[in-house]
Amino acid sequence: MKKIPTLETERLVLRPFGLQDAADVQRLAGDRDIADTTLNIPHPYEDGMAEEWISKHQDSFIKDQGVTFAITCNSNGSLVGAISLMGIAKGHKAELGYWVGKPYWNSGFCTEAGQALLRYAFTELSLLRIHASYITRNPASGRVMQKLGMRHEGTLRQHIKKWDKCEDLELYGILKEEWEEKTNNG
């Protein structure tokens, strides 16, 4: 059976989630500030939600639909957040998604994890395009996308409803050749 790989960076280990991570997921993702600016994280984050979410990762990977990694510190193994490729169209494209726990904001961890995931997407999965989106009022997420070399592709006005309020969504994307050029030029 194929297994989700482990990716390493200078400061991080991106590894499969295990059920032992559920309490940390609930604590970190359960912060209202995390849920407020993400598309798919509920609030309140109730007991059992983390276990249910984690239990779907391996099956999604086996079916080539997506891959989700726990972002952890390589120094002490603590959980920082999550990063994933969703809606994988084999040999073509996927959507990048991520969240980082509030204690780890402004540390560069999300950008570092994103660089590793783009490398994996373009070299190991042979994808040609990665796209991502963020709620307009979360510019920190947009800065991560920009640092990854992604380009702004448009704004979907009042595209999603978050807690009974319509929100604009910013769209970003990067092609494999753009990533290769950025990687080769440092």
Within 8 A by CB and 6+ apart from 56, the residues are: none
- Its pTM stands at 0.95
Query: Could you tell me which of 106, 94, 118, 95 has the C-alpha nearest to residue 9?
Result: 118
| The predicted structure's pLDDT at residue 185 | 81
Query: Could you tell me which of 108, 129, 119, 124 has the C-alpha nearest to residue 172?
Result: 129
In the chain, where the domains are located: 7-184
Please write the tens of the pLDDT for every residue from 122-181: 999 999 999 999 999 999 999 999 999 999 999 999 999 988 899 999 999 999 999 999
| The predicted structure's pLDDT at residue 162 | 85
Strands (E) located in 18-101: 67-73, 79-89, 93-100
Please write the tens of the pLDDT for every residue from 79-109: 999 999 999 999 999 999 999 999 999 999 9
Please write the tens of the pLDDT for every residue from 15-57: 999 999 999 999 999 999 998 988 888 888 999 999 999 999 9
**Dihedral, CA atoms, 164, 135, 174, 59, nearest 10 degrees?**
-50
Between strands 151-162 and 165-175, the pairing is antiparallel
CATH of domain 7-184: 3.40.630.30
Give 125's strand partners: none
Rounded distance between C-alpha atoms, residue 26 and residue 72, angstroms: 15
